[in-house]
Amino acid sequence: MRADRSKDERELNVEGKALVIGGSMSGLLAGLALSRRGWDVDLFERVETELAGRGAGIVAQPQLREVFRDVGIDPTLELGVPVEFRRSYDVDGSLMGEIRCPQTLTSWDRIYRLLREAFPSGRYHRGKALARVELRPGSVIAHFASGETAEGDLLVGADGLRSTVRAQLLPEIVPLYAGYIAWRALVPESALSPATHRDLFGYLAFCHPPGEQMLGYPVAGPDNDLRPGHRSYNLVWYRPADEETELPDLLTDATGTTHSVSIPPPLIRADVIAAMRAAAERLLAPQFREVVRVAAQPFIQPIYDVAATKMAFGGVAILGDAAFVARPHVAVGVAKAAEDAGTLARAIDECGDVERGVARFEQLRIGVGRRVIERARHLGAYLQSRARSPEERLRAEKHRAPAAVMAETAVLDFLNEAP
């Protein structure tokens, strides 16, 4: 595919051909934001199959509705399950505290599906693995592993944690393991006993084993079902895991193959899951023990940081998780990607030039990315398998108290504080 307008036409109007690498939420948000401003957008996803059904629970932060409005998606749509309060439970199951914090809790699949349906299906290309990017004066060429190429005026790297675009342009920036993992699972609402449903389901709820953190909340059920009784409960259990010993074992499947970065859920060894369930019986509040027992397919998410030193490379921009991956405690990943996408489209439009617009986008967003990374590191410091510095030990003490965890997790007030 090539930008089909002449150089003279491109000089008269900034809108042109955009290539978006990555077909998950960051890519869809970027594609929709650019399309809304008149760009001709093609999106390329390396995976052959549809991405729907992946992931688990997320927080639908207010910024997400604003971006939905900007890209033409009805912001009044039901995004998930609204909750008013947060609760914290001791390991004996007693209620330690409760605060009011209204939020909408949803599933990855719910948001992805809304974005996917809004993007033209004929412009969404699956099975297109990027091999490299070629920057030319006035254009960018994407070279794919298949041997195909696509040329555009702008290329957006929205290809996530393992970004090929970032790996080429910033090879020194690699995912940094945080020292802990999250066990995650989705459990049918109907599988919970009445008592556990009463204590957990209407809340964002926490439990605090020593040096660990469990949390859970309600989300949409299969096929985005929001009817009471048909929803799901999203479970996240943060546990320290040493990078040299424990993590490789967790990522090794029954054949002896050790996977890099993450392991597909069906390949997690039965003994690893059994050990996790046994630890739950020893460490967790009885309400959460029950949730772990009935979780059919728990999966492992190793926690990583990625912090790019640049987001602008001439006619190429990187955004979302391709630029900054923050630990999940801030629950800002989708909202950050949405604001990245909207800012990029506006900056290019306002500057009237691709390269100046991309540079302006970086000026506006790189500081936000750094602040999100720093905040997430503060909140997760006490979960690390070992503190790396005196500063991290101080962070751990400040943010490990149950009241602090309950008040600070997935709350974005820090973005309004002076840097």
pLDDT at 55 over 80: no
Instruction: Please give the span between the terminal C-alpha atoms of the chain, in angstroms, as a whole number.
Output: 43
Which pLDDT score, from 0 to 100, does residue 17 have? 97
Quick one: pLDDT at residue 54?
A: 55
Residue 134: name the closest of 316, 4, 1 by CA.
316
- Taking only the tens place, the pLDDT of each residue in 168-187 is 999 999 999 999 999 999 99
Six-digit token string for 243: 């990078």
* Phi/psi at 143 (5° precision): -105, 125
pLDDT at 221: 87
Residue range 225-259, pLDDT digits in tens: 889 999 999 999 999 999 999 999 999 999 999 99
Tell me how crowded residue 266 is: count the other CB atoms within 10 A of its CB: 8
For 233, the enclosing helix (H) or strand (E) is strand 232-240
Spell out the residues 6+ positions from residue 172 whose beta carbon is closer than 8 angstroms to its own: none
Which residue from 313, 312, 332, 329 is spatially nearest to 321, judged by alpha carbons? 332
Q: Read off the pLDDT of residues 353-397 as tens digits, 9 standing for 90 and up.
A: 999 999 999 999 999 999 999 999 989 988 886 656 677 666 667
pLDDT, tens digit, for every residue of 277-323? 999 999 999 999 999 999 999 999 999 999 999 999 999 999 999 99
pLDDT of residue 279: 98
pLDDT at 4: 42
User: What residue spans define the domains of the chain?
Assistant: 7-54+111-175+305-388, 81-110+178-303
Q: Which CATH superfamily is domain 7-54+111-175+305-388 in?
A: FAD/NAD(P)-binding domain (3.50.50.60)
- What totals of helices (H) and strands (E) does the chain contain, helices first? 13, 18
Packing angle, helices 108-118 and 25-36, rounded to 10: 30
C-alpha–C-alpha distance, residues 58 and 74, integer Å: 19
Q: Of the CATH numbers 3.30.9.60, 3.40.430.10, 3.40.109.10, 1.10.10.10, which one belongs to the domain with range 81-110+178-303? A: 3.30.9.60
Higher pLDDT, 410 or 19: 19
pLDDT for 34 equals: 96
